[in-house]
Structure 1
Amino acid sequence: MNAMTRGKWLALLCLVPFALFFIVFEIAPLVWVLINSLQTEESGWGVDNFTRIFSSKFYRQAIQFSLEISFYSSIFGIIIATLGSYSLRRVDSPLRNFVTAFANMTSNFAGVPLAFAFIILLGFNGSITLMLKQAGLIQDFNLYSKTGLIILYTYFQIPLGVLLLYPAFDALREDWRESAALLGANGWQFWRHIGLPVLAPALLGTFVILLANALGAYATVYALTTGNFNVLPIRIAGLVSGDVSLDPNLASALAVVLVALMTVVTVVHQLLLKRSYHVSR
Structure 2
Amino acid sequence: MTASKPRGKWLALLCLLPFAIFFIAFQIAPLAWVAVHSLSVGDSWGLGNFAKIFSSKFYLQAIKHSLQIAFWSSLFGIVIAVLGSYSLRQVDSKLRDFVMAFSNMTSNFAGVPLAFAFIIILGFNGALTLLLKQAGIIEDFNLYSKTGLIVLYTYFQIPLGVLLLYPAFDALREDWRESAALLGAGTWDFWRHIGLPVLTPALLGTFVILLANALGAYATVYALTTGNFNVLPIRIAAMVAGDISLNPDMASALAMVLVGLMVVITAAHQWLLKRSYHVAR
In 2, Cα distance between the equivalents of 1:5 and 1:36?
42
- Give 1:144 deviation, angstroms: 0.1
Percent identical: 78
- Counterpart in 1 of 2:63? 63
Matched residue pairs, number? 280
- Counterpart in 2 of 1:10? 11
- Counterpart in 1 of 2:185? 185
In 2, Cα distance between the equivalents of 1:166 and 1:4?
39
In 1, Cα distance between the equivalents of 2:45 and 2:131?
57
In 1, Cα distance between the equivalents of 2:156 and 2:55?
33
In 1, Cα distance between the equivalents of 2:3 and 2:134?
79
- Give 1:93 deviation, angstroms: 3.5
In 1, Cα distance between the equivalents of 2:136 and 2:197?
43
- Counterpart in 2 of 1:199? 199
Cα deviation code 1:102-121 (max 9, x no counterpart): 00000000000000000000
1:217 is paired with a residue whose SS is coil
In 2, Cα distance between the equivalents of 1:4 and 1:83?
48
In 2, Cα distance between the equivalents of 1:244 and 1:204?
41
Larger mean CA deviation between 99-108 and 7-16 belongs to: 7-16
1:90 is paired with a residue whose SS is coil
- Code of the residue aligned with 2:92 in structure 1: it is D
- Give 1:133 deviation, angstroms: 0.5
| Structure 2 counterparts to residues 221-260 of structure 1, below 5 A | 221-260=221-260
- Counterpart in 1 of 2:144? 144
- Give 1:278 deviation, angstroms: 1.6
- TM-score, scaled relative to structure 2: 0.98
- Code of the residue aligned with 2:158 in structure 1: it is I
- Counterpart in 2 of 1:216? 216
In 2, Cα distance between the equivalents of 1:127 and 1:278?
50
- Give 1:242 deviation, angstroms: 2.1
CA RMSD of aligned residues (A): 0.8
1:263 is paired with a residue whose SS is helix
| Structure 2 counterparts to residues 125-136 of structure 1, below 5 A | 125-136=125-136
In 2, Cα distance between the equivalents of 1:119 and 1:113?
10
In 2, Cα distance between the equivalents of 1:9 and 1:231?
47
In 1, Cα distance between the equivalents of 2:244 and 2:133?
37
In 1, Cα distance between the equivalents of 2:5 and 2:51?
54
Structure 2 unaligned residues grouped into runs of 5+: none
1:52 is paired with a residue whose SS is helix
Larger mean CA deviation between 270-279 and 75-84 belongs to: 270-279
- Counterpart in 1 of 2:113? 113
- Give 1:249 deviation, angstroms: 0.2
In 2, Cα distance between the equivalents of 1:279 and 1:212?
27
In 2, Cα distance between the equivalents of 1:253 and 1:203?
31
In 1, Cα distance between the equivalents of 2:189 and 2:9?
48
| Structure 2 counterparts to residues 21-100 of structure 1, below 5 A | 21-41=22-42, 44-100=44-100
In 2, Cα distance between the equivalents of 1:84 and 1:156?
14
Point out 4+ residue stretches in structure 1 off by more than 6 angstroms: none
- Code of the residue aligned with 1:35 in structure 2: it is V
| Counterpart check, 1:157 vs 2:157 | yes
Structure 1 unaligned residues grouped into runs of 5+: none
Larger mean CA deviation between 144-153 and 1-10 belongs to: 1-10
| Counterpart check, 1:104 vs 2:104 | yes
